[in-house]
Amino acid sequence: MSGSEIDQTQAAAHRLPTLPDLQAWAQALGFSSLGVAALEHPEAVRGGLRAWLDAGMHGEMTYMARHEALRGHPDRLMPGALSALMVTIDYTPAEPDWRAKAWSTLADGQRAFIARYALGRDYHKVVRQRLQSLADRIVEAIGPFGYRAFCDSAPVLEVELATRAGLGWRGKHTLLINRQRGSMRFIGTLYTDLPLAEGKPETDRCGSCERCIDICPTGAIVAPYRLDARRCIAYLTIEHPGAIPGDLRPLIGNRVFGCDDCQLVCPWNRFAEPAVVADFLPRHRLDCASLVELFAWDAATFDARTAGSPIRRIGHERWLRNLAVAIGNANPRSDEEQRVLRQALCARADHPSALVREHVQWALDQLARRAADSDERDPEGQGQRRCDQREADQHGDEGAIAPHPAGKNVRGGRGR
């Protein structure tokens, strides 16, 4: 008997929702796919998780180790749980040239690159609210049932379950990919006490491709399907609480929140259908902001501009830390650009946070070293590593209008 036949038979016997019904309800809520996973993992999956933790690849994400047993045994998370409804919601940008635009931002050392997933509303909320609506719709159809909704919020191996549910395959970069929709998609999970039949896994279509491994700026994909989070820019700029290791800073470029390189290069994202979820549209021009502009945000501006965004959770201190690294990596094309970047850094040189001060000093050193390397650009000693009082004062007002490196004036603080 096939999976869908079992599903139909059970539906009749226990008044279960059918897969097509579930899929139609999910689609009406904006989900791009829905499938069913059984709540058990093969031993190999638990072994993979253990090997990853043993190798310390989780870095300082201690929660990954703390709840290992629940990740490895999904049936233990919710008493009575029998199946998981796995859903996806896409954030592939709608412009046809979105990949070219992302590469162009990455190539422009004066601009900030923010991972596409973080440009709009926080997906945790978007997905969980829609999962709740899906549960309500199921209750309407079959009466009360047991469930719990998660999105990146519980000890669940979401990519693994989504793969088992037939929503795609795991790419060599470790993310879920679908033939029509690529990988720019979030995964949501609804554990249920319904005995639903599991979907069929999709074939792995990575073949001999290794583009994601080759492009990774920090070599974080240490082997196909093995990611050392400690080297991943998403970890370093979002999850990692302390100083960013010095050897990795120059490799981060202008990526100030997350990283998309392994997905941008993936051929399956080239023709992925665009997403139509208004929640994920870029806010506050975050897809084209300059480093100097974002670095000028004070704590209140940061809070205001990142309200409801996934960026909020890193806080203002890590935000400045990340931006300082990116400014240190910027390669000024003129003396004027060099001056603007230095001034931005100098305005933060006395920041109350030692973490910020250290990254600012590192960035000043980087700029000074590069200026000193270029004789033409350093006629008046711009290679200096310390800020003089005049520079430190000049942009101390975070609400002031900071000159945009490209020549335009942009307001750097509150009141825009």
Active site residues: 152
Per DSSP, 334 falls in state S
Cα angle at 52 between 237 and 78, to 5 degrees?
A: 90
Partner that binds at residue 228, options ligand B12, ligand SF4, none, CB closer than 5 to 8 Å by kind: none
Residue 221 interacts with ligand SF4 (CB under 6 A)?
yes
- Binding letters toward ligand SF4, positions 340-379, x by CB under 6 A: ----------------------------------------
Nearby residues of 244 by Cβ (< 8 Å), 6 or more positions away? 236, 237, 252, 321, 322, 325, 359
H helix count then E strand count, the chain: 18, 12
Q: What Cα–Cα distance (Å) separates residue 146 from each residue in 76, 194, 235, 270?
A: 14, 8, 34, 40
* E strand map for 284-396: none
- The residue count for binding ligand SF4 (CB under 6 A) is 25
- Among the listed ranges 34-42, 82-90, 265-273, 385-393, the one in contact with ligand SF4 (CB under 6 A) is 265-273
- Among the listed ranges 57-65, 256-264, 287-295, 394-402, the one in contact with ligand SF4 (CB under 6 A) is 256-264
**Sites for ligand B12 among residues 115-134 (CB under 6 A):** 115, 117
Kindly tell me the burial class for residue 297, based on how many C-beta atoms sit within 10 Å of its own C-beta (0-12, 13-18, 19 or more): buried
Partner that binds at residue 267, options ligand SF4, ligand B12, none, CB closer than 5 to 8 Å by kind: ligand SF4
Residue 89 interacts with ligand B12 (CB under 6 A)?
no
- Among the listed ranges 223-231, 271-279, 321-329, 376-384, the one in contact with ligand B12 (CB under 6 A) is 223-231
Partner that binds at residue 218, options ligand SF4, ligand B12, none, CB closer than 5 to 8 Å by kind: ligand SF4
Residue type (1 letter), 231: R
- Binding letters toward ligand SF4, positions 157-196, x by CB under 6 A: --------------xxx---x-------------------
Residue 408 corresponds to which tokens in the numbers above? 């335009």
Q: By three-state DSSP, how is residue 270 classified?
A: coil
Report, in Å, the least distance between residue 319 CB and ligand B12.
15
For residues 226 and 32, is the Cβ–Cβ distance under 8 A? Answer: no
Residue type (1 letter), 401: I
Among 11, 37, 38, 49, binds ligand B12 (CB under 6 A): 49
Alpha helices in 144-260 (DSSP H): 158-164, 211-215, 233-234, 249-252
Q: What is the total residue count of the chain?
A: 416
Among 126, 134, 227, 356, binds ligand B12 (CB under 6 A): 227
Footprint of ligand SF4 (CB under 6 A): 171-173, 177, 206, 209-212, 216-218, 220-221, 227, 232-234, 259, 261-262, 265-268
